[in-house]
Structure 1
Amino acid sequence: MYSKKLISLILCTALLLCSSGIAYADAGHNDHPHQGKIIITPQMFYINKANSNLSITATGQAQVKCYIEGYSGTVTKVSIEAELQQYKNGDWVVINSWYQSSSSYKLTLSKLMTVPKGYSYRVVADVTAYSGSDSETKTVISSKVYY
């Protein structure tokens, strides 16, 4: 009788120990430049890389460059719809727009335009990658440039 109680007690203790285990994840070292902030970036299915850039020369020549690269072997077409915007009276106003597409998996749109002095400018581009009848779009915004 004593041995049955002892065996039951041992089994109950083992069962409690096994079922109450808590798993901990080690966060490791945080070497990310955002100083402790966790940043979650969604994985794109068709778009591998995308960016938009704006530079303005001392004479007011604005150079707009936008780029999209889809996944090779998956993407059948790409397109870029870009807007050059000027910050005026508290709003971003479109001063020019361009569209370009390609039956490839990557594309660069490059445009020049003279802009007036005394404003901030930026480029907003919607880049789209197609795989058959499916598509995926991402909006990329350049840094602001004051001229």
Structure 2
Amino acid sequence: MYFKRLITAILCGALLLCSSIITYADAGSNDHSRDNIIITPQMVCINRAYSNLSINSAGLAQVQCYVEGYSGTVTKVSIEAELQQYKDGDWVTINSWYQSSSSYRLTLSKSMAVPKGYSYQVVADVTAYNGSDSETQTVISSEIDY
């Protein structure tokens, strides 16, 4: 009987000891403060997309936009691109283009002359379709001063 009480007392003591242990994670060298958390949405249909702008010395703006969906999943893609000019404190669309394809990838390439003395950028809405579902992403080129 004494042996049973001794075992019970030891087990209860061990249980109390284990339940009172506090565990913590030390931030130490891994700085994961709330300000450093980056949440990145994962696209379901769009694999890759970009928009590029270049302007040569003669003022010819070259616009190139690209969208690529996941092969075998995406049945159609489209690009709606706007060439914008920064004028009077606001971005103004000076030309726009639309193109679509019954494939999983598409490149839109356009060019036009632009006047000197402004900043320019391309804003493109690229869309990938999976049957009746679709996914759209906005891609913006770097700003170019001309």
TM-score normalised by structure 2 residue count: 0.85
Identity of aligned residues (%): 71
Name the Cα RMSD after superposition: 2.6
Aligned length: 142
Q: What is the match of residue 129 of structure 1?
A: 128
4+ residue segments displaced more than 3 Å = 1-6, 12-16, 18-30
Unaligned runs of 5+ in 1: 31-35
1:42-68 Cα distance to aligned partner (Å, 9 max, x none): 110000000000000000000000000
Bigger CA radius of gyration: 2
The 3-state SS of whatever aligns with 2:79 is strand
Instruction: Name the aligned partner's letter for residue 127 of structure 1.
Output: V
Q: What is the match of residue 33 of structure 1?
A: none
Instruction: Name the aligned partner's letter for residue 44 of structure 2.
Output: F
- How far 1:3 sits from its partner (Å)? 3.7
Distance 1:15 1:72, change over 3 A: farther
Distance 1:57 1:7, change over 3 A: same
Matched, 1:54 2:53: yes
The 3-state SS of whatever aligns with 1:109 is strand
Q: What is the match of residue 8 of structure 1?
A: 8
Mapping of residues 1-147 of structure 1, within 5 Å: 2-16=2-16, 17=18, 22=23, 24=25, 37-147=36-146
TM-score normalised by structure 1 residue count: 0.84
2: distance between equivalents of 1:103 and 1:41? Answer: 28
Choose 3-12 or 124-133, whichever is displaced more: 3-12
1:61-90 Cα distance to aligned partner (Å, 9 max, x none): 000000000000000000000000000000
The 3-state SS of whatever aligns with 2:116 is coil
